[in-house]
Chain A
Amino acid sequence: MILLFLSSGLFLGWSLGANDAANVFGTAVGSKMVSFKKAAFIAGFFVIVGSVVQGAGATRTLGDLGAVNAIAGSFTVALSAAFTVYWMTKLKIPVSTSQAIVGAIIGWNFYSGFQTNYHSLSKIVSTWVFGPVLGAIFSIIIILVIKISIKHSKINLLKLDQLIRIALILTGAFGAYSLGANNIANVVGVFVNAVSFKPLDLGIITLSGMQQIFLAGSIAIAIGIVTYSKRVMETVGTNIMHLSSESAIAVVLAHSLVLFIFSSQSLSNLFVNIGLPPIPLVPVSSSQVIIGAIIGIGLLKGGRGIQYKVLGEISLGWLLTPILAGVFAFFALFFMNNVFNQEVYKKADYSNVKKYPVPETVNNVIKANEDSILKAGLKSATAKIVRFDSSLKVDKKRTNFKNAMNSQKSGENKLKQKIKNQYYIILSLSILLFISLIGIYYLRIKYKNSTNLKE
């Protein structure tokens, strides 16, 4: 049953492997510098290692945003994100799994009535902007270092080619590791709070429950790489990125560094130790960081040939993807809950909600009665019940208990009312979104026709 529910996350993983491995090995494979078999093996292996070893950081941030606590809910959230990615890809709007999953989690928060952690949300959204910018800065620095080193070393072209080949493999492996470490949160992060596995002892290492989920997700990514990424890699290498091998190294290394930085707990701790603010550990869009890095190379060459339209499309994706995924998730959770009768969230633990300290009061009343029964030294069950009943009849205690019960009920009513209000908000939002999507769809068709005419 767990595997069935995990399937949506595994599908997300497969599509991530099929698409994003091209960011890491696309140029190398497309330009025939590295064979696809070699690239697929290295990428698959390092994605798994990165996910299992370093996947927890970014996953924790997603958990802070919204801890999906029922497996059917996790399944629906991941499925909604996957559907959003699929649909927007079909519409040819640039889309990121990271943004889709964040939107879907917020959709779950709205549906379940859990508070969205706006601090985490702002951290995540700011990283979406900083990721590509950081990618551009890193790629500029790296390409300058490479160019200066080549100029001063006066190495033979064939030897340089050999070194570039090795560098492409190494940066690709690092890229795959970082991709796994950072993006595994998108794939199976929503399942972490809903599923608990016992630690698995493999002899050399012991995998925690979370790591086992990461392992399953990363294997799905690796399968995506092996089965479907070849065509994407060849397209990326030959059609989209007309980069020299040196630039390809700079772009992939910049991308890998950005993904690594936003997923490394140790680096974040190091920052804190030297008095700097901690690094937010957030899943970032691999494709958007790559685009940022390529723009960095383009800027270094004087900014010629940069398609600024792509930047506009990315910004549109930042706005549209989470909203769409959130609305999909909300409705999908409604169906899952009411039509398929599945528990998509576990009710709020009131002990954590300071507004409703009711259960504590009820417990106190019960505990006080239990204490009095114990003190009285009653042994038979009937005597205990009589004593308990009589104690409840004491006006003061009874009033307390009634108040406590009423307060609990009013708490639940408030929660229901809140959910109802949010439901109406989402409904009206979705209508607005639907209208705006029709508009975007119309614009895209119009734009497509105009470019066809130009051609």
Chain B
Amino acid sequence: MAFLFKKIDSIILMINDFFDTIDQGTLIFKEGINNYLGNDKEDFSKNISRIGKLESKADTLKRQIINKVYVQSLLPQYRGDILRLLEKTDEILDKMKETLNQFDVEKPGITKDLHSEYIKLTESSVLSVESLIPALRAYFDDVGSVKDKVHRVYFYENEADQTGESLKRKIFKLKDLKLSEKQHLRFFAAHIENLSDYAKIVADIVAIASIQRII
């Protein structure tokens, strides 16, 4: 049987590698936020450099997968869905990289009493992205279990929304900050929170695509 899948195996490996890259990106992002809040500049800059490399690797993998799928006329019925899934998933990593870069460039002055809230928000957002990866893998390997996996994404997205809202309320209740500073902090909270929204969008796409495959 192996000779039948000779051409396919390399693409399967690339797809798995792509999801691994996104998964690693979420870990680096979480670490980066923690390092920024802990004022560990050296590690933070390492995080920025690593997420940049991962983002570029994911881009290359995505292009290679799409090229191979189209050139070899693979999955004619599903390649539209797959293309969207890869594009949108790659966007999540792009947003992570962009957010860390913004932390580096704009250096928001996050007060110590907000640290725990920011960490909680980051964890919820990162968990929603992390929960998405098994759902994406299931779309390729075990389509029936996709719906069992995407509900975790929705759960963490909801949690990130709530944490984000409470963080924003807390920011605007602070009396010793100027409005411009509050807006700056809110901007970063919104950026971290947005990652879970992106994860939710991809979860919606994979859920619909899996239903199309099952019917």
Contact = CB atoms under 8 A, between A and B. Distances in A.
B208 to A, nearest CB: 15
A163 B73 CA distance: 14
Interface of A: 31-33, 151, 154, 156-159, 161-163, 166, 244-245, 301
Contacts of B140: 156-158
- For the complex of A and B, 8 pairs with smallest distance between CB atoms: A157-B140, A158-B8, A32-B76, A154-B142, A31-B76, A161-B75, A32-B73, A159-B5
Contacts of A156: 8, 12, 140-141
Contacts of B105: none
Interface residues of B, number: 21
B215 A301 contact: yes
B104 to A, nearest CB: 39
Contacts of A154: 141-142
Contacts, number: 45
13 contacts: A31-B77, A33-B73, A156-B140, A157-B75, A157-B140, A158-B5, A158-B8, A158-B74, A159-B12, A161-B75, A162-B5, A162-B7, A301-B215
Interface in B178-215: 213, 215
B139 interface: yes
B77 A158 contact: no
Contacts of B139: 157
B144 interface: yes
Interface in B128-169: 139-144
A158 B4 contact: no
A348 B133 CA distance: 80
A366 to B, nearest CB: 76
Given A31-B77, A32-B76, 8 more contacts: A151-B144, A154-B141, A158-B8, A158-B15, A159-B12, A161-B75, A162-B7, A166-B4
Contact of B77 (A151, A163, A166, A244): A244
A151 B145 CA distance: 10
B78 A157 contact: yes
A101 to B, nearest CB: 37
Contacts of B11: 158
A223 to B, nearest CB: 27
Nearest to B75: A161
A154 B213 CA distance: 13
A158 B9 CA distance: 9
B50 to A, nearest CB: 29
B73 A158 contact: no
A194 B11 CA distance: 59
A32 B75 CA distance: 9
